[in-house]
Structure 1
Amino acid sequence: MRFEQMTSPELQAVGAGARRPLAVIPCGAVEQHGPHLGVGTDHLIASAVAEAAVARAEGTLLLPAVPYGVSPHHRAFTGTLSLSAATFVSLLTEIGQNLWDDGFLPVFLNAHGGNRPALGVAVSTLGAAGAGAAAITWFEHVRDVAEATLPDAAHGTGHAGALETSVMMHLHGAAVRPDKIKPGSTPEGWPDPHLYAGPSPTIWRSFDAISPDGVIGTPSEASAAAGATLFEAAATRVAGLLTQISKTYG
């Protein structure tokens, strides 16, 4: 299941099969997540969801994570390590092309909202070069579960809000600082910055201009129980998407 634990001859044999195995690459970010979550939150969640999904989807391999992402909007906060969009696209397209040439179909499993535009460019660039690829952002596929599980999914979720905090409580509880979770939610602003807000204009904003502590949402509504429910839904649904991609494009 783990790409890095296989030998080169073993990978050559797997890639030479009648169907292309999926090579799942977790993509995250190293960026501020408020005063209560670590800067590695996104790649930790991406890696966990990818590992659980790959374990449930036949014909898939788990690759090491790409921990760094497109995070210039978080650079006002210390510890954010951002790639430019061009660097991120170049990195993923080169990894993806290598995988395609070796007989695999690359799938980028994303956990950072700021990566989404660049992931679309990477997949399109690979496609134009004749290499198949796909990108999945896990939280886009659990909105209904968040709405059923969290007290206020419409305005409580965002960045380091109830959704991410809950999942981190479930996966890495010791890395969460509950005493640093502030009450209340995001200051008023337009366009609505929350994760499941309705359609709005695309406008670039620095996170410190949206929220002084870098948090969007209401992390005080988080719980490990909600995190377990959300994580299970994410793993199951991503596994289903991987299976469909494999059947359709593998």
Structure 2
Amino acid sequence: MSSSNDKTSTKGAAGFAFMTSPDAKMLSESGPKRPVAILPVGAVEQHGPHLPLGVDIWLAHAVALAAAEGEETMRVCEPLAYGSSHHHRAFAGTMSLSPDTLIAVLVDLCTCLSEDGFLPVILNGHGGNRAAMQVAITKLGQRGITSAGLTYFDLIVDVANEVLPDAAGGTGHACALETSLMMHVIPASVRESLIPEGTTPPSWPDPHLFAGAAVTVWRPFETIRENGVIGTPSQASRQAGETLFAAAVVRSRATILKIQSDYGQRSLP
């Protein structure tokens, strides 16, 4: 698979920006339902000593492209690389938008897509973007614009439980899940000799990916673990990454098709 930062990977049927303006107009006006414009959103931020800064946006983009493959009424927009990552700023290379800025950008981009006849669907790959994405979708709704958003790894909790030794305590950030996925999607980017041993020290609220803590507290990641890793990346494997990626693609595609089926009307009821 081509890495998602290869510009040629956006070409072909799945790429929104590969269309001409007349192409986009023709697609937006065809069929009984509005075509879907998938906007991959992620982050450029620290991922421990063993993973590159681009993990979140590269994985979100790869999932989006694979989910849209072969779907005539789906197009993948150029990815929005930067997200809300201030909790990682103690680590060099992290680039962050404020939550307000991210919300404003998402609202502006999705408004453009909707005005041109597309159904905007945000496909997110960074946990720190969840709140901003939800607020953006709410603001769009207040304008009468229907949009939707999903975080791909929220769709594969059960698969992570099956293929990772400790999905509850081993996943979080630069963890077994993300390391496994990168081993499959862009294997050359993983510094396997630098994968740290150990796991997250005890912390409250539970910082792990699928913890579902009832309490929300904003915390810089260096206060949770000095290397910025949450979870147990030493539990990662290429085999797990292949299974997790396939599940993320299938479930993202099914979810987006459901969104289109239920909310793709060309005018509000």
TM-score by length of structure 2 reads 0.91
Q: Write the distance in 2 (CA, Å) between the matches of 1:103 and 1:167.
A: 34
Question: How far, CA to CA, are the matches of 2:215 and 2:70 in structure 1?
Answer: 37
Partner of 1:2: 15
SS of the residue 2:17 aligns to: helix
1:170 pairs with 2:184:
yes
Residue matched to 1:121: 135
Q: Which amino acid aligns with 1:126?
A: L
User: Is residue 221 from structure 1 mapped to residue 235 from structure 2 by the alignment?
Assistant: yes
How much has 1:19 moved relative to structure 2? Answer: 1.8
Q: Identity over aligned residues, as a percent?
A: 51
Does structure 2 retain, via aligned residues, the 8 Å contact 1:119–1:135?
yes
Contact 1:56–1:239 under 8 Å retained in 2: no
Confirm or deny that 1:205 pairs with 2:215: no
Aligned with 1:243 (options 257, 263, 269): 257
Q: Which runs of 5+ in 1 are unaligned?
A: none
1:85-234 aligned within 5 A: 85-234=99-248
**1:57 and 1:243 in contact (8 A); partners too:** no
Of 16, 25, 29, the residue aligned with 1:12 is 25
Question: Is 2:79 the counterpart of 1:59?
Answer: no
Ranges of 4+ aligned residues in structure 1 off by more than 6 Å: none
What's the counterpart of residue 39 of structure 2?
25
If the length of structure 1 is used for normalisation, what is the TM-score? Answer: 0.98
- CA deviations 1:95-147 (Å, max 9, x no partner) are 00000000001100001000000000111111110111000100101000000
Q: Give the match's secondary structure for 1:32.
A: coil
The one-character-per-residue Cα deviations of 1:50-88 (angstroms, maximum 9, x if unpaired) are: 001111544111111000000010001000000000100
SS in structure 2 at match of 1:25:
strand
Partner of 1:72: 86
The residue type paired with residue 46 of structure 1 is: A
Counterpart secondary structure, 2:69? helix
CA contact (8 A) 2:205 2:213 kept: no
1:155 partner letter: G
Alignment root-mean-square deviation, CA: 0.9
User: What's the offset of the Cα at 1:16?
Assistant: 1.5
Alpha-carbon distance in 2 for matches of 1:222, 1:248? 37
1:238 corresponds to which letter in structure 2? S
Give, in angstroms, the shift of residue 198 of structure 1.
Answer: 3.9
Answer with 211-220 or 180-189: which moved more.
180-189
Distance 1:168 1:56 in 2: 24
**Aligned residue number for residue 7 of structure 2:** none
Residue 54 of structure 1 contacts residue 62 of structure 1 at CA under 8 Å; is this kept in 2? yes
Q: Whole-Å Cα distance in 2 between the matches of residues 55 and 4 of structure 1?
A: 15
Q: Distance in 2 between matches of 1:22 and 1:95?
A: 14
Q: State how many pairs are aligned.
A: 250
